Structure 1
Amino acid sequence: MAEKHVLGLSGGKDSAALAVYMRQQRPDLDIEYFFTDTGKELPEVYEFLGRLEGFLGKPILRLNPRRDFDFWLKEYGHFLPSAQTRWCTRQLKLLPFEQWVRPMLVQGETVVSYVAIRSDEEYREGYSSKHARLLVKLPFREDGIDKAGVMDILQASGVGVPKYYDWRSRSGCTFCFFQQKIEWVRLKREHPDAFEEAKAYEKSALEHGSPFTWTKGEPLTELEKPGRIAQIESDYEIRRHREASRRPVNPLRPVAVNEDLDDLFLEEEGGGACLVCHK
């Protein structure tokens, strides 16, 4: 029977590193690379995908949901997606993937999906396949590649990381509810139009009785006030210096990646990330 090999890209560093890794380690495999576009991605994501296509030497297939973010927002009563109800991941990421591979499986093909879960992420699980011929493989976990290894792969290949890592710790989705408050402040500065769109969605959600705002317990109209921004930035710097002072210096890796500290801050704010989106 025919066998298909697929690798999903989120626009983040881990999945990009896996694509590079598979291209280098298994050039014999004809892997189809795909990206599920929610229509609400940061512009830096598209720039990075173009850079990655140049390295891979082949196009990255764009999977577009049949129904967009606005459609599903109405279907869910204008309730914003949240950590409790992650309808964005389900409807805009997982469903398009399932619709794409279904005809392959119906035709009797075996689909091997490669997922970028690292060896230092024992607590994470990949996509749970509901079909006997949809196989999920975790090369990084199998080969012992951790976060530092991911960075080594991207730097050595020349692909680098997405530019949004300059101001955000993870996820290329513009309105990700897992963002820290400091990242909403940065979104306002980096992409003011996107911040205004997020405010409009939040206003509509509140008018329809949604209990959720984008950031827990604080609407963006309050978060964007100058005094509040100053407080958020001050709190962030205090935490950053505190955590940095606690970390032992590794002479082999003297330059720390920004995200290392931001991972801790996400947990402090009750955060996390959707596996499909941030990997």
Structure 2
Amino acid sequence: MRHILCVSGGKDSAALAIYMRDKVPGMEYVFCDTEKELPETYEYLARLEGILGKTIVTLKDGRGFDHWLEIFRGYLPSSRMRWCTRHLKLHPFERYVGDSAVTSYVGIRADEDREGYISTKPNIKALFPFKEDGLGYPDIVRILEESGIGMPQYRTWRSRSGCFFCFFQQKIEWVGLLEHHPHLFELASQYEKYDESSGRRFTWCDNESLEELSRPERVATIKTEHARRMERNLVAHITLAEILEDDSWERPCLVCTL
């Protein structure tokens, strides 16, 4: 039986890796790299390796996002068609596992009302140590702080790990990308297309392009709306990341964001 913990560069999987460090001899740590991750994600994973004292194996598709975008004829991934997760995250993980009997450790917390899996292969059994041990958000923060790694740096403006152009980002997070990594924002905008023959727009956001979103007046509006929302949630939510996490919007892919 192999024991594998897939880290994403997010807080929950990092905390789980630290939590399980001395509990399971021979634990394998892996990271499925889309090669479109935030710079902060790679930096956080490097620090996590130092704390674990063990290499995090990097898994890659070998062909990359641009190849699959061409295969899907320019159809950007979306919540309705998550081909990026399937081809750049799940498939590399399943190839690495092969036919071995594997226990996969997943960082869903006890205070989260959701189910989750990394793979549906019959030889992979998922375990949820945080759920089993009753650990919630405050415990994850404590584990990260006590280990010295703390929260990922991107948490000051973005709630989760994942590709810099992840379609699950909210408008305020796109603004964060624009302000913290303008070159990545520009790269993301270059993927957006307009099909003159059909009149269809292929954009990351449902109702506007990144060019439209980046206009100064639009950025100001997004920030104002966000500030009002922060005021409404001040009692229950302290940080941007906590507010975004608690949303009732559709949940992003576990293997990308935990």
Q: TM-score, normalised by structure 2?
A: 0.94
- What is aligned with 2:19? 21
Q: 1:230 to 1:145 in 2, by over 3 A?
A: same
Corresponding position: 1:276 with 2:246 = no
- What is aligned with 1:197? 187
Assess if the C-alpha contact under 8 Å between 2:157 and 2:241 holds in 1.
no
Assess if the C-alpha contact under 8 Å between 1:68 and 1:92 holds in 2.
yes
- What is aligned with 2:148? 158
Structure 1 position 8, deviation (Å): 0.2
Q: How does 1:174-193 map to 2 (within 5 A)?
A: 174-193=164-183
> In structure 1, what is the Cα distance between the partners aligned to 2:195 and 2:108?
36
Structure 1 position 110, deviation (Å): 2.0
> In structure 2, what is the Cα distance between the partners aligned to 1:122 and 1:261?
16
- What is aligned with 1:235? 225
Q: Tell me the SS of whatever aligns to 1:124.
A: coil
> In structure 2, what is the Cα distance between the partners aligned to 1:148 and 1:211?
42
Q: 1:206 to 1:163 in 2, by over 3 A?
A: farther
- What is aligned with 2:94? 98
Structure 1 position 128, deviation (Å): 4.3
Assess if the C-alpha contact under 8 Å between 1:7 and 1:113 holds in 2.
yes
Match of 1:144 among 121, 134, 144: 134
Corresponding position: 1:66 with 2:62 = yes
Count how many residue pairs are aligned between Structure 1 and Structure 2: 257
Q: Which amino acid aligns with 1:120?
A: D
- What is aligned with 1:213? 203
Q: Tell me the SS of whatever aligns to 1:145.
A: coil
Q: 1:77 to 1:68 in 2, by over 3 A?
A: same
> In structure 1, what is the Cα distance between the partners aligned to 2:145 and 2:203?
37
> In structure 1, what is the Cα distance between the partners aligned to 2:196 and 2:188?
14
> In structure 1, what is the Cα distance between the partners aligned to 2:243 and 2:27?
34
Match of 2:37 among 29, 38, 41: 41
> In structure 2, what is the Cα distance between the partners aligned to 1:123 and 1:211?
33
* Structure 1 gaps, min length 5: 249-255
Assess if the C-alpha contact under 8 Å between 2:175 and 2:219 holds in 1.
yes
> In structure 1, what is the Cα distance between the partners aligned to 2:195 and 2:49?
41
Percent identical: 48
Structure 1 position 121, deviation (Å): 1.9
Assess if the C-alpha contact under 8 Å between 1:82 and 1:212 holds in 2.
no
Assess if the C-alpha contact under 8 Å between 2:12 and 2:107 holds in 1.
yes
RMSD: 1.8
> In structure 2, what is the Cα distance between the partners aligned to 1:55 and 1:197?
33
> In structure 1, what is the Cα distance between the partners aligned to 2:72 and 2:257?
23
Structure 1 position 84, deviation (Å): 0.7
> In structure 1, what is the Cα distance between the partners aligned to 2:107 and 2:2?
18
> In structure 2, what is the Cα distance between the partners aligned to 1:223 and 1:173?
19
Q: Which amino acid aligns with 1:36?
A: C
* Structure 2 gaps, min length 5: none
Higher helix share: 1
> In structure 1, what is the Cα distance between the partners aligned to 2:196 and 2:145?
47
Q: Which amino acid aligns with 2:173?
A: E
Moved over 6 A (4+): none
Q: Which amino acid aligns with 1:262?
A: L
> In structure 1, what is the Cα distance between the partners aligned to 2:101 and 2:213?
49
Please identify, of 133-142 and 40-49, the stretch whose mean Cα deviation from structure 2 is larger. Answer: 133-142
Q: Deviations over 1:120-141 (max 9, x none)?
A: 223222234322x322111111
Q: Deviations over 1:116-163 (max 9, x none)?
A: 1111223222234322x3221111111111111111111111111110
Q: 1:212 to 1:124 in 2, by over 3 A?
A: farther
> In structure 2, what is the Cα distance between the partners aligned to 1:226 and 1:138?
44
Assess if the C-alpha contact under 8 Å between 1:77 and 1:208 holds in 2.
no
